[in-house]
A and B are shown apart, each in its own frame.
Chain A
């Protein structure tokens, strides 16, 4: 039975990191109603930022958060302000700004290829003080960097929920996500709210970047690997839902980990999609999705 417990432990740890990565996507969607196709690229930027900070200064990857998170916040803030806002403004009378999807896809390609030009296609791994560290509880091996990933996920989620519930800006973000026109009429600058929401969404990718680099390699298209997972997680959990993203992430992590113990690991993807379809069939809005019309 040991191996089942081991599978649950590693699945939960990895799943929580998937959930954290999906958190940024769900936040941006919940507020701006835009599916950010450049989400994976933002993760890639976060990973490169974390990689270079650790590489150049030699600090602990979690200390790098102090630099990486603000960096990514402003990156997202200005990405929204300069690239996405003009399109949103042009479509301000449209309920679902679908053209923005094309814009974010463009951002995805441009970011990935600029990175390819600057840093080349090589895989980069940084040796940090906790790389490859693990501890044993009985027969169960727990990877230390992944455990820190779980802790980071919990802290970020609690902080995000608190921010949205109790701060003035958080309330403005929630108001804009409910009805952007009504919010504007109440004196909320919706584009500023969008900039900040987008900034927070990408800042979370900075956290994910710092969490991932002790055990995962960085390369220009690394985002694509996590991108598809994030989309499944977000839809599975319910678009715009924070607990949905976390639970969705853990579910995917567990299916991958436990499923692989009973079948060839390439087949677990099939199970992931089957569960995904089944959930959508029973609850079309996702596990935590609200039955509201976006």
Chain B
């Protein structure tokens, strides 16, 4: 007993000493480089269920930071270098809040960034607001993140509501261009939070644009048979079918629709299962001409994408995706704000972010033309891309078709879907 407590006390002492030493050391280094480094605190899910996207975001940030630092850092700050500090949120909101507090108070970061999970971003931005530290949100889609009147939160990605908005705008545009007559609509979606939330927004938009909703059908994602649902779609004879599906049900639904010969002028997915590589592989020709909304696609006709993708793939073994692109752009947003503020003062940084109009440079691999924030801190240009499944040289590919400025060279949307 005595012996045990002796060792324990000893262990605690050693740990405490190590910490104290480390702190002195880090305080020392930061004092030396005080005017030369801008610290960015990144809160990301680096372990747990969302780890893969969190790690992609980290890699993208590292790549952008390296490029900026190698190009001479922030020139208006005398070539100051960017330094990233990463904290693992484990997708847990309470961990995110603690991390934000610690990054601000202990690490004295100048700017915060993260957190991918909307549930973590929501309370963490609140901490930043209290301390008046600018918080860049590259990817977190929950609407309310920028709807609280915050002054220090800036979101680059599109809001939740914009996915459905773009689906309807796309249809309006296609109506004009093709002269197709679209009157009726069917909503078919998985019966979880996500699908039900999307359907609520569809309902409002359908009313606004004057569509007649002929079917509003949730289904369980784990269904063993979706023939009954497909039969209902067939009976309802909608012009447009809007879908929100996970991977397995997207496959089953698409194949069953082909088998039951369901015909529609447009079938539009909402990312998720319809963007899953498995979907393309397993549906094959049955998915041809279907549409899907995504935040980013590798075939966008924007300069710099192939080179950057090649570099990213060489380093980490996988392609860029929507998440990593927004994370990559976010570092350039921070650099641009610092450059124009010529200061690391939080107030001046905020002003520089609020007045941003970033329309050139490497950040423009995004699908739209400029990054600028409205009063709520939302990037007003953040757009989504409509892709269409098309046969290219005998392979089914996701081809960006809308907006036209981002469409893959030589392709335009085939609308309405041709009958097979």
Contacts and interface: CB of A to CB of B under 8 A. Distances in A.
Contact of A225 (B224, B228, B235): B224
Contacts of B261: 134, 141
Contact of A229 (B220, B224, B258): B224
B205 interface: no
A261 B252 CA distance: 19
Given A143-B259, A217-B252, A266 B231 contact: no
Bin chain B's interface residue count.
Answer: 20 to 34
A143 B284 CA distance: 19
A10 to B, nearest CB: 5
Contacts of B281: 125
Bin chain A's interface residue count.
Answer: 35 or more
A123 B282 contact: yes
Given A132-B286, A256-B228, A260-B232, A123 B248 contact: yes
Given A14-B225, A132-B255, A219-B248, A3 B231 contact: yes
Interface string B265-282: 000000000000010011
A269 interface: yes
A225 B222 contact: yes
A23 B220 CA distance: 25
A215 interface: yes
Contact of B228 (A122, A132, A134, A261): A261
Interface in B205-263: 217-220, 222-225, 227-229, 231-232, 235, 247-248, 251-252, 255, 258-261
Given A132-B286, A215-B255, A256 B225 contact: yes
Interface string A59-89: 0000000000000000000000000000000
B231 A216 contact: no
A176 interface: no
B191 interface: yes
Contact of B259 (A14, A134, A216, A219): A134
Contact of A266 (B219, B255, B284): B219
Contact of A10 (B220, B227, B284, B286): B227
A224 B284 CA distance: 26
B256 to A, nearest CB: 8
Contact of B282 (A125, A229, A259, A266): A125
A226 B225 CA distance: 10
Contacts of B247: 123
A6 B228 CA distance: 9
Contacts of A257: 225, 227-228, 231
A253 B286 CA distance: 25
A143 B255 CA distance: 12
A104 interface: no
Interface in A238-260: 253, 256-257, 259-260
A10 B228 contact: yes
B220 A269 contact: yes
Interface of B: 191, 217-220, 222-225, 227-229, 231-232, 235, 247-248, 251-252, 255, 258-261, 278, 281-282, 284, 286
10 contacts: A10-B227, A10-B228, A14-B227, A124-B282, A134-B261, A216-B224, A217-B248, A265-B223, A265-B232, A266-B220
Interface of A: 3, 6-7, 10-11, 14, 18, 122-125, 127, 132, 134, 141, 143, 215-217, 219, 224-226, 229, 253, 256-257, 259-261, 264-266, 268-269
